């Protein structure tokens, strides 16, 4: 595979809103020399309740935008979008999704091969995790549960709240009855609510986030020579955050998720973009 | 005012999603001879968490689409969009919003002139109700409460559910402490959750829905000669429902809100449209 992009070009990361920032945070920690550009489609979120055609159209518009940025690789940090775009390369640059690494990590973690999957309605309907896990281990059983209220609860920042506890109880109880030992947080918003989810699931259940496993996949791709690693100083690393709808609410949540007091302290730039023109 | 449209042209009604169908239902009952076209922007909902610029841009795109349909009047059956487009006419056709009639009905209902307002974050920030009510009665006091979880709860159809009860308690309790005697359901999704809201508010509080007051405003406009009334037989009345994102979920909720078993029984046609061209 010929490298089609320069090592100093950023890695593009996109999501429908703030959820993918949980993935960006993990990637920033694992790859301190890499530049990143994050794209949150907040003007059209959420994706998880929309049709496959609409999700695919929006994803392709964002991938097109990031290609022109230009980026050297694209991470689809949104399970819903990942479920509808699982090609490994697009126009010669690597395209990472969160289904593949999440599935691998779940298989590795589960002892009884009974795996719970929390996701949006669209992710569950796409059967993307179920198909991927069956390919990796035909004996594994996946029990899916749609969690349509988790995204608005996370977007509202209701991290430690009785409403979130009630929703978590409702969504996780059926999985516990199926005796799962591992639960995939199949939406990048869900790690924001991890504490409430773990409280209901109990300490013996392993929760799978895709960020860690995704970092490993990126490393493998670099080792195979299909993605150039940036070797510039980490002090000069730049992170750009873009969103299609602005507002203080988004920026405040972004600060909270990335765990920084202000963007400038980490060389992070924020700006709003308009995809429609 | 010269009538610029034909009486048999439909009245356009739009909302970000299914919420405006509560208004359409009331209008269909009040105006059995009128044709309607409903536009739900489900591919980009919700509007209530988005910025004023984005809300205005989306609303103008939909108004432009309905103008070309063509329609003889437009009802903005979305409080968030209404808050950002309050012109009474657009290119010579009447443009109705839900702020004006809701405010009038609240003033008429309230004895102590302490009025509660439930709405989206965007509607509250716009101060549209507060300004309109102050114009109608400078002595009235408005107490606002943002209810960001009501739209996802309604879109999920969780009408009779402990999660909705918990959210209702959280949002309405502060208004009861302010001794309001009237509460405006300042989002067309909220009538879907009316039972839970009334349960917390108690029987002595009047809940204001905009549909009824809006019908009266339409009647006044017809009486003034600024909108032609359709006098064709009600048996031939047509209702067209359009949405930017399809899916069974939307159609099932639409049937539930309009209280019909199937669209054809009421001469209702459904189709998906793509605003992006």
Q: What average pLDDT does this structure show over B207-228?
A: 93
Q: In degrees rounded to 5, what are phi and psi of residue B112?
A: -90, 0
- In a domain, residue B277? The reply is no
Locate the DSSP E strands across A120-256. Answer: 141-146, 182-186, 206-208, 239-243
CB contact under 8 A, B245 and A54: yes
- Interface check for B161 against chain A (CB to CB < 8 A): the answer is no
Task: Please report which confidence band the pLDDT of residue A210 belongs to, taking 50, 70 and 90 as the band edges.
Answer: confident
- In a domain, residue A5? The reply is no
Contact list in A for residue B18 (CB cut-off 8 A) is none
What's the pLDDT tens digit per position in A30-68?
Answer: 999 999 999 999 999 889 888 899 999 999 999 999 999
Chains A, B: CB pairs < 8 Å:
60
**Which residues lie closer than 8 Å to A192 by C-beta, 6 or more apart?**
A18, A19, A22, A154, A159, A257
User: Are A205 and A216 contained in the same domain?
Assistant: no
- Prior bond of A153 cis (ω within 30°): no
- Comparing alpha-carbon positions, the chain B residue that sits nearest to A244 is B54
- Interface check for B165 against chain A (CB to CB < 8 A): the answer is no
- In a domain, residue A6? The reply is no
Q: Would you call A127 helix, strand, or coil by DSSP?
A: coil
Beta bridge partners of B182: B115, B206
Select the more confidently predicted residue: A265 or A188. Answer: A188
What's the pLDDT tens digit per position in B37-80?
Answer: 999 999 998 898 888 999 999 999 999 999 999 999 999 999 99
Considering CB atoms only, which of A50, A121, A167 is closest to B245? A50
Contact list in A for residue B153 (CB cut-off 8 A) is 149
Residues of A annotated as part of the active site: 78, 187
Q: What is the pLDDT of residue A277?
A: 47
When divided into structural domains, chain B yields a total of 2
The rounded percent of chain B whose pLDDT value lies above 70 is 98
- In a domain, residue A3? The reply is no
- Interface check for B76 against chain A (CB to CB < 8 A): the answer is no
- Interface check for A245 against chain B (CB to CB < 8 A): the answer is yes
- In a domain, residue A70? The reply is yes
**Which residues lie closer than 8 Å to A266 by C-beta, 6 or more apart?**
A239, A258, A260
Domain that holds residue B87: 11-97+212-272
For the beta carbon of residue A173, count every other beta carbon within 10 angstroms: 12
Name which of B203, B191, B225, B227 is nearest B96 in CA terms.
Answer: B227
- In a domain, residue A119? The reply is yes
- Interface check for A249 against chain B (CB to CB < 8 A): the answer is yes
Cβ atoms of residues B237 and B35 within 8 Å? yes
Is B85 tagged catalytic?
Answer: no
Structure tokens at A172: 């996780």
User: Are A206 and A267 contained in the same domain?
Assistant: no
Look up the ipTM and state it: 0.82
User: Are B20 and B87 contained in the same domain?
Assistant: yes
Task: Please report which confidence band the pLDDT of residue B2 belongs to, taking 50, 70 and 90 as the band edges.
Answer: low
What's the pLDDT tens digit per position in B138-178?
Answer: 999 999 999 999 999 998 889 999 999 999 999 999 999 99
User: Are A69 and A106 contained in the same domain?
Assistant: no
Q: What is the CATH number of the domain that holds A88?
A: 3.40.50.1860
State how far residue B199 is from chain A, nearest Cα, in angstroms: 18
């Amino acid at each position: 595979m010929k490298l089609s992009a320069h090592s100093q070009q950023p890695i593009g990361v996109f999501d429908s809103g703030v959820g993918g920032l949980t993935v960006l945070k993990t990637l920033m920690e694992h790859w301190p020399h890499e530049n990143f550009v994050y794209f949150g489609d907040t003007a059209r979120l959420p994706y998880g309740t929309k049709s496959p055609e609409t999700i695919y159209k929006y994803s392709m518009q964002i991938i097109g935008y990031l290609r022109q940025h230009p980026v050297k690789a694209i991470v689809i940090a949104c399970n819903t979008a990942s479920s509808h775009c699982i090609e490994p390369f697009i126009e010669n640059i690597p395209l990472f999704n969160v289904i593949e690494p999440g599935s691998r990590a779940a298989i590795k973690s589960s002892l009884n091969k009974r795996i719970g999957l929390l996701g949006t309605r669209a992710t569950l309907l796409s059967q993307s995790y179920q198909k991927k896990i069956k390919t990796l281990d035909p004996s594994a059983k996946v029990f899916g549960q749609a969690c349509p209220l988790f995204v608005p609860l996370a977007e509202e920042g209701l991290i430690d709240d009785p409403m979130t506890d009630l929703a978590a109880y409702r969504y996780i109880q059926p999985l516990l009855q199926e005796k799962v030992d591992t639960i995939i947080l199949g939406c990048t918003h869900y790690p924001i609510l991890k504490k409430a989810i773990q409280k209901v699931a109990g300490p013996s259940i392993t929760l799978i986030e895709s960020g860690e496993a995704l970092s490993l996949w990126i490393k493998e791709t670099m080792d195979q020579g299909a993605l150039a690693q940036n070797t510039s100083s980490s002090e000069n690393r730049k992170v750009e955050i873009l969103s299609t709808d602005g507002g203080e609410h988004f920026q405040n949540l972004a600060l909270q998720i990335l765990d920084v007091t202000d963007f400038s302290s980490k060389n992070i730039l924020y700006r709003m973009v308009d995809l429609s023109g």
